[in-house]
Amino acid sequence: MVRRLVVGGRRTATWCASERNWPEALAVLGLSVPVSIAGVALFALGTPSGRMSAHAEAVRELDRHATASDA
């Protein structure tokens, strides 16, 4: 049930406290925290790893050009 209140000339909707489903909302929040932490960890580990792989490939390519020009 939604109650409509007029506060300061503005209409606002308020929910009855008895209709809030706090256990379900807190459970969803509690389950989302480990998933978000895992996502941050994977992103933090994957970004430098990809950049280092690209850098290593660029260094190998430069080494190939340097050895080819020396020969």
What percent of the chain has pLDDT above 90? Answer: 52
1-20 pLDDT tens trace:
455 555 565 666 666 656 77
Model's pTM, two decimal places? 0.51
- Is residue 12 within a helix (H) or strand (E), and if so which, with residue range? strand 10-15
> Which residue in 33, 30, 3, 34 sits closest to 17, CA to CA?
3
User: 39: which 2 tokens?
Assistant: 């996502």
| pLDDT tens-digit map of 54-64 | 999 999 999 99
